[in-house]
Amino acid sequence: MKKTLTLLGMLLATPSYAEEIWVTNEKDDTISVIDVATLEVTRTIPTGERPRGITFSHDFSRVYICASDSDAVQVMDPETGKILNDLPSGEDPEQFVLHPDDRHLYIANEDDAVTTVVDVETRKVVAQINVGIEPEGMAVSPDGSTVIATSETTNMAHWINTESHEIFANTLVESRPRHAEFTHDGAALWVSSEIGGTISVFDTETQAELADMKFEVQGVHLDRVQPVGFEFTEDGKTAFVALGPSNHVAVVNAETYEVEDYILVGRRVWHMAFSADKSLLFTTNGVSGDVTVIDVARREAVKSIKVGRFPWGAALRP
């Protein structure tokens, strides 16, 4: 069925039917659009300077891009690739998360130790929250009540109440936290620490630490095993963790916190996105400038796709 649809889409030459992975190229100021059916780059779209975080609105009619060095979050029409407008983002937006209300973006301003909350409809800054030095990882709980900002140099996860826009808890994590995600049920928060080499798991209710996962890649010095981006499978039972310059992705059992597998990918793997049916996983490899396609069921890399320089963020457009 999916194949037929894709084929139909190609026949009609209307790209909106094709399932795509959008990848930001940090050092090219572009987005590479990968067709999930053909596993080829079909479009390269210019963006503002140093694009990193990327996410779609819930109806996929808009794509938000952190153009870090342009000090803006850009709003793009994914059909035309045209920039519709810029959002006031604060300085050096690196990463962000879209609230379940589809209306508020929580943006990490890396140079300013601030999290900026922007209303995408009024295009106004709703709040700025002082956080630690170099905020980067951003997560929102499924119920929308809590947003997390992690700060790379302060080494904390800051728990922000989305009603009051105030921090209600700070939890120390290991060195240089990079990415945060709530589990699908919202019960736990995962935070990766690049230099610490770990993923810490916190209980959402109490903010108590539940577990601390370590990674070991055969033949790679521990210092180079640096967890950054990660994603959960749909059933929430498995997590795929990018391990940076170890050039591997770890497959973690999200219930036992045990590492089940390591998959060799490109160099300095950053972030990732699943295809719509979750059968394929696309990882951005910063140093090698490519995207590795992983067959999720077989846990194998099946293809490398050349994209722009320093691919960073990835997002699915179904």
Partner 1 sequence: MRLIAYTSVIFWLSVSSLQAEVSVKVGYLRQMLDRPPVLSNLDPVPDDLGLAGAQVGLADNQTTGGFLGHEYTLSHTDVPVGGDVLAAARDMLAVSSLLIVDAPAAALLRIADMPEAQGAILLNVAAADVALRNADCRANVFHTLPSDAMRADALMQFLVKKKWVRLAMISGAHDKDAALADVFRASAEKYGLSIAAEKAWNFDTDMRRNAAQEVPVFTQDLGDHDVLLVADTRDDYGRYIPYNTWLARPVVGTEGVVPAAWSPVVEQWGAAQLQSRFTDGAGRTMRPQDYAAWAAIRTIGEAVTRTGSAAPDVLRAYILSDEFELAGFKGRSMSFRKWNGQLRQPIPLSTSRALVAQAPLEGFLHQRNELDSLGLDQPESQCTAYED
Residues engaged in binding partner 1 (CB under 8 A): 91, 110-114, 130, 132-134, 151-156, 158, 167, 170, 172, 174-176, 194-197, 221, 223-224, 245
- Residue 114 or 252 having the CB closest to partner 1: 114
Distance CA 234, CA 71 (A): 34
Distance CA 12, CA 4 (A): 12
CA 185, 182, 48: angle at the middle one, nearest 5?
135
Distance CA 166, CA 158 (A): 10
- Residue 174 or 181 having the CB closest to partner 1: 174
Question: Closest approach of Cβ 104 to partner 1, in Å?
Answer: 21
Distance CA 11, CA 86 (A): 34
- Residue 158 or 179 having the CB closest to partner 1: 158
Contacts with 255 (C-beta within 8 Å, 6 or more apart), sequence order:
237
Contacts with 284 (C-beta within 8 Å, 6 or more apart), sequence order:
23, 269, 270, 271, 272, 291, 307, 311, 312, 313, 314
The residue count of the chain comes to: 318
How far CA 289 is from CA of 51, 239, 267, 275, 309, in Å, comes to: 14, 24, 8, 20, 5
Which residues does residue 240 pair with via DSSP β-bridges, in sequence order? 231, 251
- Residue 184 or 224 having the CB closest to partner 1: 224
Question: Closest approach of Cβ 7 to partner 1, in Å?
Answer: 43
- Residue 80 or 206 having the CB closest to partner 1: 206
Question: Closest approach of Cβ 185 to partner 1, in Å?
Answer: 28
- Residue 20 or 136 having the CB closest to partner 1: 136
Question: Closest approach of Cβ 92 to partner 1, in Å?
Answer: 8
Question: Closest approach of Cβ 315 to partner 1, in Å?
Answer: 22
Question: Closest approach of Cβ 193 to partner 1, in Å?
Answer: 9
